[in-house]
Amino acid sequence: MLLLALLPSLCFWSAALLLHLLGANAGYSGKVPVSAMVRTQLCIDALQALSALPRFFAEPHDRHLALRPLSLLLGVAAVDLVEYGCHRLMHANKTLRKLHKRHHRLIPLHTLGAYYNSAGEALFTGSFLGVVLVGALQSGGDRPGD
Ligand SMILES: *[C@@H]1O[C@H](CO)[C@@H](O)[C@H](O)[C@H]1NC(C)=O
């Protein structure tokens, strides 16, 4: 269970570090210190692990390790769609753009900065993601082998 809760974070860190080793951050000289990105990411990691807890209690324990490729694909697509939609909204709306300002201080880009956001932005996007999570749980989840 613990490993599953940490899986999104492990994927993020692996991809970010691989890109880093390939030179994606070479010569980074932005205003945002890498330590601030790492701190933000560790907060996100903790929140992601905590957000896995409802599934732990809602699902039968023998299904925790069930591999459900279609569910995984749909989940990634749903999270991506929500995050993309929220990002677009924050660019289109002046009030919301203020929440999003911190994210765009990160120029040039850095592979550890994908989630370098304000707490307001995390709350905004997180609440939409929460709606998706609750919807998925209420639909009764899914069956192994989907
Ligand atoms: C921008 O977003 C705020 C907060 O969600 C909302 O109150 C406001 O009506 C929106 N403005 C426009 C122009 O959509």
pTM: predicted TM-score of the whole model, two decimal places: 0.75
Whether the Cβ atoms of residue 50 and residue 8 lie closer than 8 Å to each other: no
Residue nearest to atom 3 of ligand 1 (CA): 95
Ligand 1 center to residue 127 CA distance, Å?
16
Token representation of residue 103: 């994210």
DSSP code, position 104: G
Ligand 1 pocket test: which of 86, 96, 123, 124 has the largest number of ligand atoms within 8 Å of its C-beta? 96
Token representation of residue 68: 């459900």
As a whole number of Å, the CA-based R_g of the chain is: 17
Check if 89 has its Cβ closer than 6 Å to any atom of ligand 1: no
Question: Cα separation of 92 and 88, whole Å?
Answer: 6
* 93: phi then psi, degrees, rounded to nearest 5: -110, 125
How confident is the model over 38-61, as pLDDT tens digits? 999 999 899 888 877 777 777 777
pLDDT confidence of residue 65: 56
Check if 19 has its Cβ closer than 6 Å to any atom of ligand 1: no
46's CB contacts (< 8 A; 6+ apart) are none
Could you say which residues of the chain have pLDDT below 50? 144-146
